[in-house]
Structure 1
Amino acid sequence: MEESYYENYWDQTTLSLTDSPAPSSASRFRRWLFPGLIVVVLLILIIVMGSTNRKMSNRLGTLEQTVSNLSKIVQSLNASLHHTQETAKQVQQLQYAVENNKDQLNSVSEAPEQLSAIDSLSKTIAAIKRSHEHVINNSSTTGGCCPVGWTVFESNCYFFSGDSRSWNESRDWCETQQAHLLILQNDKEWDFVTRRSMPHFYWIGLSDWRTGRWEWVNQTPYTVEPRRWKPGQPDNLTGHGDEDCAHLYDDGLLNDVHCSIKMQFICQKPTLNA
């Protein structure tokens, strides 16, 4: 009886299990969908984090290299700064030494400088005195006066140049001073000029380039006086072009040369109130 009971029980249980419907494919898909999504999301997160970690590692390596380079630069700058500071100290020491030497030199050279200043002052006073006497003489004995740097004689002013020019350049320069190259009119004037011209060469206003005949710069005809010329002059030597311009030789006599030669010159004009 008891065996019969158990047999009936297992038969019913087996029947109930056999008779329950099998789950559908849709329910099985829904059952695994959520876990699958979680796995996919976790996999994506793992990939993203791995990539991020790789980039961070690269950036970290770059930063470490940059820091290392900056450290080297700072060390180099510190060394340069130290060297610059040492150099600045040496420069200051040199400046101090130079100042001391200058003070010593000034103290040593002070006396000669004072003597030089006194000498220069004496010369200035002498020059002023001569100019004053010159003005007095000009205004009282000749009835006229001349610009500074010019010499008065009778009723004319004479300028004995210090620089050298050609005959044409000398003529043009005299004209800019409202004057002309020297014209000698009498023996007294010849003596006055030659005493001051020797021992130098000076252009005067005498030439024959315009007409082939000797004439003064104002086109007044000139008659050759052999006693006023160097022996054998004027010879109008043509070996290097005509010698068309006359000048005073270093002994006060006349000589003819090429007009392009550069030498000192004498300008002449009337006194200011002549």
Structure 2
Amino acid sequence: FTTSFHYPVPARYSFLTRSRRWLVPALVLAVVLVLVLAFGVNSAGLSSRISSQEDTVSNLSLSLSSARRDSVDTAKDVQRLRFSVESNKDQLSSVAESLKELAMVQTLSKAVASLRCAVDRLIHNRTDVKGCCPLEWESVESSCFYFSRASLNWHDARDWCHAHQSQLLILTDDKDWDYMRSHVGDTFYWVGLTDEGGKWEWVNGTPYTIDHCAHIHSDGRLNDKHCSEPERERQSKFPPHRLYF
């Protein structure tokens, strides 16, 4: 026969046993729930970041497209400018050739005028020919100019000019200044300007608002110098029709 022994189990032990049986699944479920929640939160953040990156990429694409269009427009502008430059080069070359031809014509005109004066001197057997500058004088438009190689004081230079029906140079405009600056070099020349009367004025009595007598240097500036000091004179001769600088 079979004999069975049954031991009574207290009620609280029975409850603990049942509780332990459900504890592990509950913990697993809780962990899974926490993981799901964490994944959901991370997924939401990741989605937000992805959306932000997509917006950034979209903006970059738009910027790139705009930059490409601008690049194409710039290339067209460069091409137009290049064509314009080439066209201007041709025009400038044409202008340069015209200027060369004009300079040649002016040179020939001066040569013809000089030759005509030389012929007139030979025909009339005299150096003073009407309408021509004297020998060693330079013709500039309607006036005759002479650069002296002698060193004289201002008064002697003025008297020399008077003896040759001329006067020390009077500078009236920028053209005269530019002409003198291009011819005087490193040499000082007397001009027709003095303040011996107490104020600056040209030898023709015209006032000038700029001590002593004046001479001009290679940079075109006038400088005051005592009138008794020797210096080369610079005269402008009365032209044939009696106009003068």
TM-score, normalized by length of structure 2? 0.49
| Structure of higher CA gyration radius | 1
TM-score w.r.t. the length of structure 1 is 0.45
